[in-house]
Amino acid sequence: MFTMREIDVVFDPERKLFLYFGVAFMAIAVGPFGTYEAMGLWDRTVFWTLDVMGGMVIIVPVLHVFYHSRLMAGLPSLVRFGLGVALGALPAAGFITLLYGTIGADLQISTPFPVLYIEVTVFSTLLLLTEFILWPMVFGTPEPQPAVVAAPHEPVPVSKSPVPALLTRLAVEHRDAAIISISMQDHYAEVTTTVGTALILMRLNDAIDLLEGYPGARIQRSHWVAKDFVTGIERSGRRVEVRLQDGRTLPIGATYLKAVQQSLGFAVTDVKAPNGSEAARRG
C-alpha cells in the first residue's frame, strides 16, 4: 500500500505536538526498558521527554533533507523514507546511549549499540509512518493559509517591472529610458532609447536575450523594435516597413512578416509612393 503513493513528508507542527508528546507521556506512565523500576516519576519524565523529543529532533531533519534531495529523486518514495529514517537513527541512537546512566543512578544500559540502533530505527519508522501517512488519512492535511488581502482603504503596492539587463550595459543616461529599437551597425548593436542612441559591441541575438521579455519583435536579420513604439506596418510596392513613433521606418524581412504581424498586432497597410519617387522610377 505504501509503495503505491507518495509519502507526505511535510513539516506540520500540529502532528508533531500531539504524536511526540503522546508517545512521551505513554513512556513516562509505562516506564519501558526498566525505567519504571530504576527511576522516580520526575527522573522518568526528564528521561523520556529527552529520549523522544531529542531523538525526533535529530531524525526528522535528516529524513526531510534525504527524502526531498534531488540526488535521491530516482528512488521510490518508501525507499527514500526508510533510508532517511535509518540514517537519522544512527546519531539518535548515540544520543539515547548518552542518556542512560546520566538520569537515574540505578539505570544502566545493557542493550548492545547495534541492537539499540535497530530498535530506534524500527520505532522511529512506525512513529513517522503514523505522522506522515495515517495522520493525513484520519485528520486530513492542513489547509493552505489564505493570502492576506489589503483593506480597501490601504493602497496595494504595484511592483515595478525589472529593468532589462541591456539597459545596464549602456551609459548612465539610458538607464531610466525605454528602448525603441535595436539595429546592427557592423559589429555593433545600435540601441535607440527615448533619450538617444548608444552603440554596444554585441550581436543582435545577445542583445535580444538581455531584453528579458521586453515586449517587441525581431523584424529583420539586423533589426528589432519595441512593441509600444510601433505605430503601424506599411507596404509600399515590395517594401514592407515598421513605422515608429519617432518617425523612423525600419524594413521587415519577408520571412519575418507573418510573425511580426502576430507579435506587434498590426495588419499591413498599403501606401502609395510619393510622386517624386514615382517620377524617379519612370525616369
Q: What stretch(es) of the chain map to CATH 2.40.50.1020? A: 165-282
pTM above 0.85, yes or no: no
pLDDT score at 217: 92
Low-confidence stretches of the chain (pLDDT beneath 50): 1-5, 144-151, 153, 155-161, 276-283
* Superfamily of domain covering 165-282: LytTr DNA-binding domain (2.40.50.1020)
pLDDT score at 238: 87
pLDDT score at 107: 64
pLDDT score at 147: 41
pLDDT score at 158: 40
Pair 225, 244: CB distance under 8 Å: yes
pLDDT score at 29: 92
Sorted by sequence, the CB contacts under 8 Å of residue 210 that are 6+ apart come out as 164, 165, 166, 169
What does the DSSP assignment read for 47-103?
Answer: HHHHHHHHHHHHHHHHHHHHHH-GGGTTS-HHHHHHHHHHHHHHHHHHHHHHHTTTS
Sorted by sequence, the CB contacts under 8 Å of residue 208 that are 6+ apart come out as 182, 218, 224
